A and B are shown apart, each in its own frame.
Chain A
């Protein structure tokens, strides 16, 4: 099995020769940028360089499935959110929230000609063409609730969830339209799967009841329209809503270290693939031995795909990230 076959087999519920290693949130290192000569922030608008950095995650760090580098901020940037594009050791983030009212929420026809989405799609095409025979190429979109927080402001969204839920519903409808189009464009460009970054719906951000009422129907409707495998990522202790996440229709759930691997696989009960949950703080601060222990714990619990639990700091040592692949190989 090559890396792509291994990843897709595990993603779709089959039995690969060994557990694959993947990342869905942002992952690059300063060391990799130095060794490839491809540096943030320039790579975010340069498909050629970004594809090379993606390949380095496979070739140097041993990841079977890799995603383009930018974190879950592509759609807001294309829709007018002012960006801080970061630095080699700092990921991009947005600085403004351009939507005031639902009337502001308009998706332009030229969405995919706007940056950075144009580069994201071109990066997927380039990576697929150059490296697609040896690694899985992943796309990514924001989750609708997270996208709305970027476009309308986090506090506004969370308070209006209680003050004016109909306005939030109207905003979310627009987000879903943009995100479905973007996800399907990524599949057309060659993505093997698309992740959905819904960190804004983290465990403390809204109650399980609010998730069930306001967001679950939105997730279900969106995922049903995406034409390929989906990997939903939500940060934090999601145990109180795992029974709801199973109803979204996602192919796979990417969980973080707030949930133990054994609890996660028990909750999934074969209804979806489980990906996780290496602690990203430990990827930054601990050493290879601790990271190998976490890989072993995940494999012993039956986690299908090993991955960092969230975005990783560019200052993570290559040795720490490489330790994940080495631990899987030793298992």
Chain B
């Protein structure tokens, strides 16, 4: 097994120490940082996402895998920036007002970063006004809205409305979260719905560049 394949396995197992150690080994071997991301880390998280879809992995396993990837990415991000590699798109991401749950949102952010989407993470309990201001400030092409609770779904509707009312016609709104459905996305005028974090990359990419 190559070191890149071992790195993929380390992410799948959520072994953060091994992931960091292998990342350093690969850097010492002069492997291009973007290759480490695309051929080592991203396939690991993709497999984790698939296992989640198959009910073989649950949120704890997803979280420790994401932690391993995040710590390895922290070693690579300065090098990617130094090499002049810029994100393909910029996304503003957050959990809507009234909802403090951020696991799904954090996992989506991790997946998007791995797919070379720049992520401006606004955190949780984010007002519609803050989403609008961040889209304008960062000239974002994608907005990701998350909600875990049925009780906060109206805030998602309010946020989409605020984005449209602000005249931000080109930004694509992707929504997700446990109670969210495609029907709800259609009803509130979102551009796309991601049923889980693992689907978030494909959904965002298809939405922004169909």
A residues with CB within 8 A of B: 26, 71, 84, 86, 89-91, 93-95, 154-155, 158-159, 161-163, 202, 204-207, 210, 235-236, 240, 280-281, 284-285, 310-315
Contacts and interface: CB of A to CB of B under 8 A. Distances in A.
A170 B106 CA distance: 27
Given A159-B67, A205-B60, 18 more contacts: A26-B151, A154-B102, A158-B59, A158-B103, A159-B60, A159-B64, A162-B14, A162-B64, A204-B52, A205-B59, A240-B55, A280-B150, A281-B153, A284-B154, A285-B184, A285-B187, A312-B151, A313-B153
B162 interface: no
Contact of A154 (B14, B103, B154, B187): B103
B122 interface: no
Contact of A205 (B58, B125, B152, B153): B58
B178 interface: yes
Contacts of B153: 281, 284, 313
Interface stretch (B77-85, B92-100, B109-117, B163-171): B92-100
Given A90-B97, A162-B14, A236-B178, A315 B150 contact: no
A95 B106 CA distance: 17
B14 A89 contact: no
Given A235-B178, A285-B187, A313-B154, A154 B67 contact: no
A89 B154 contact: yes
B154 A206 contact: no
A210 B178 contact: no
A95 B125 contact: yes
A159 B14 CA distance: 10
Contacts of A210: 58, 60
Contact of A315 (B60, B154, B178, B187): B154
Contacts, number: 84
B184 to A, nearest CB: 7
A271 B91 CA distance: 49
Given A311-B149, A312-B150, A155 B63 contact: yes
Interface in B157-210: 178-179, 181, 184, 187
Given A84-B125, A95-B125, A311 B60 contact: no
Interface of B: 14, 52, 55, 58-61, 63-64, 67, 97-103, 106, 125, 149-155, 178-179, 181, 184, 187
A75 to B, nearest CB: 16
Closest 4 CB pairs of A and B: A280-B150, A158-B60, A90-B98, A207-B58
Contacts of B155: 90
A199 B58 CA distance: 15
Contacts of A159: 60, 63-64, 67
A206 B151 contact: no
Interface centre among A26, A93, A315 (most CB of B within 10 A): A93
A204 B148 CA distance: 12
B198 to A, nearest CB: 12
Contacts of A95: 100, 125
A203 to B, nearest CB: 8
Given A86-B98, A311-B149, A311-B150, A281 B58 contact: no
A311 B67 CA distance: 31
- Most A CB within 10 A of own CB, among B59, B100, B151, B181: B151
Contacts of B60: 158-159, 161-162, 205-206, 210
A311 B153 CA distance: 12
Contacts of B99: 93
Nearest to A87: B98
Nearest to A207: B58
Given A204-B59, A281-B181, A154 B101 contact: yes
A292 to B, nearest CB: 19
B164 to A, nearest CB: 19
B98 A91 contact: yes
Could you say which of A94, A158, A162, A240 has the most chain B C-beta atoms within 10 Å of its C-beta? A158
